[in-house]
Amino acid sequence: MKIIRTVPSMTAWSERLRREGVTIGFVPTMGALHDGHRALIRTSRLRCDALVVSIFVNPAQFSPTEDLSKYPRPIARDRALCREEGVDVCFEPTAGGMYPADFQTIVTVPVIARRWEGAARPHHFAGVATVVTKLFRIVQPHLAWFGQKDYQQAALVRQLVHDLNLGVKIQIRPTVRERDGLAMSSRNVYLSANERRMAPLLSQALRVGRRMIADRVRDVAAIEQAMRQPLKREPTIHVEYLAVCDPDGLEPLPVVATHAVLLGAVQIGSVRLIDNMLVRIPS
Ligand code: PAF
pLDDT tens column, 42-90:
999 999 999 999 999 999 999 998 889 999 999 999 999 999 999 999 9
Measure the CA–CA gap between 254 and 220, rounded to whole angstroms. 6
Work out the average pLDDT over 122-151.
98
| Average pLDDT of the chain to the nearest whole number | 97
pLDDT tens column, 223-276:
999 999 999 999 999 999 999 999 999 999 999 988 999 999 999 999 999 999
131 CA distance to ligand 1 centroid (A)?
8
Q: CB of 274 closer than 6 A to ligand 1?
A: no
145 CA distance to ligand 1 centroid (A)?
11
- Would you call 166 helix, strand, or coil by DSSP? coil
Neighbours of 73 (CB within 10 A): 14
pLDDT tens column, 174-183:
999 999 999 9
In terms of DSSP bridges, do strands 259-268 and 271-280 run parallel, antiparallel, or are they unpaired?
Answer: antiparallel
Q: CB of 81 closer than 6 A to ligand 1?
A: no
Work out the average pLDDT over 22-45.
98
pLDDT tens column, 152-187:
999 999 999 999 999 999 999 999 999 999 999 999
Q: Quick one: how far is CA 255 from the chain centroid?
A: 27
The amino acid occupying position 172 is I
> Looking at the domain that runs over 2-173, which CATH code has it been given?
3.40.50.620
Question: Is the model's pLDDT at 104 over the cut of 80?
Answer: yes
Give the mutation target among 54, 128, 148, 170 for probing the ligand 1 site: most ligand atoms within 8 A of CB.
Answer: 128
Q: What local confidence, expressed as pLDDT, does residue 98 receive? A: 98
Instruction: Look up 37 and say whether it is catalytic.
Output: yes
Question: Is the model's pLDDT at 282 over the cut of 80?
Answer: no
Compare 92 and 280 and report the one with higher pLDDT.
92
Q: What local confidence, expressed as pLDDT, does residue 203 receive? A: 98
Q: In the chain, where are the structural domains located?
A: 2-173, 186-275
Neighbours of 74 (CB within 10 A): 14
pLDDT above 70 coverage of the chain, percent: 100
Measure the CA–CA gap between 166 and 145, rounded to whole angstroms. 15
Q: What local confidence, expressed as pLDDT, does residue 193 receive? A: 97
Choosing among 3.30.1300.10, 3.40.50.620, 3.60.20.10, 3.40.50.300, the CATH entry for 186-275 is: 3.30.1300.10
Measure the CA–CA gap between 274 and 122, rounded to whole angstroms. 16
| pTM exceeds cut of 0.85 | yes
Give the mutation target among 26, 27, 29 for probing the ligand 1 site: most ligand atoms within 8 A of CB.
Answer: 29
28 CA distance to ligand 1 centroid (A)?
6
In terms of DSSP bridges, do strands 24-29 and 50-55 run parallel, antiparallel, or are they unpaired?
Answer: parallel
Q: Note whether 2-173 and 186-275 share their fold.
A: no
- Is the Cβ–Cβ distance between 9 and 29 less than 8 Å? no
